[in-house]
Structure 1
């Protein structure tokens, strides 16, 4: 199975930007994520198109958040960078003459819809600010 890491990288990027008061160059972000700047720039384009980041040109250019971290739910990040379908059905139609194959798609559609709704509800309840807070609490326990 092919899994995308764009969501995790995007949350990393936006969390990093939330901690910085000035625009951050893609090379700095890439060093934090431990990947190449070209991959970061591709993701930054997606995040920018979704209105989550803004590019700042010039000698001190880079990327910054377009909104407050508390106004960026993880669900919005997920929708900006990943295929919104986590689970999928068979790639080819099951055998309709089989007692399982004739109804499995109908049953699985319901299960998949419920699972995706639960995941999206969870992501909608967590913001970039929540991620920042969790990082800071774990870095500096009381």
Structure 2
């Protein structure tokens, strides 16, 4: 089963919007993510509803951040993408008739619920600005080491 990459991709978009693109059109974001602008508008709608971005229609319009990155947690982003399932494992949705399977399902359900709660707590403690600062450190280190040429720097800083 393929991974759900929406959260990672949207974190990428938010950091670019903060660092490199003051107002981003759906077309520009779609180009950055190699997807369709309609998909971008659908995803960004959840971010607008969560108060993370604002949008303006028409010429000169686009998406802008409504909050600073240090005011946006990973939990906020997770919720804005619709709270997808975190795990691809777990008990069957139907009630089992076998007592062994019921015991397995109960323990799996409890364990996954505990793991999900831990992850939500961790998501709440990490700010998007933490990730952006990590990018800045990595970028500076690679640039100082001569590992990043001008063409790559331009591509990275322009979406």
Give the TM-score category using the shorter length. Answer: 0.7 to 0.9
Within-5 A mapping of 1:112-127: 112-127=112-127
How well do the aligned residues superpose, as a CA RMSD in angstroms? 1.9
Contact 1:7-1:82 within 8 A present in 2 as well: no
Deviates more, 1:63-72 or 1:9-18: 9-18
Contact 2:26-2:63 within 8 A present in 1 as well: yes
Structure 2, unmatched stretches of 5+, are 145-159
Deviates more, 1:74-83 or 1:17-26: 17-26
Secondary structure class of the residue paired with 1:102: helix
What's the counterpart of residue 92 of structure 2? 90
What's the counterpart of residue 140 of structure 2? 140
What's the counterpart of residue 79 of structure 1? 79
Count of aligned residue pairs for this structure pair: 140
Q: TM-score, normalised by structure 2?
A: 0.78
| Distance (whole Å) between structure 2 residues aligned to residue 94 and residue 48 of structure 1 | 41
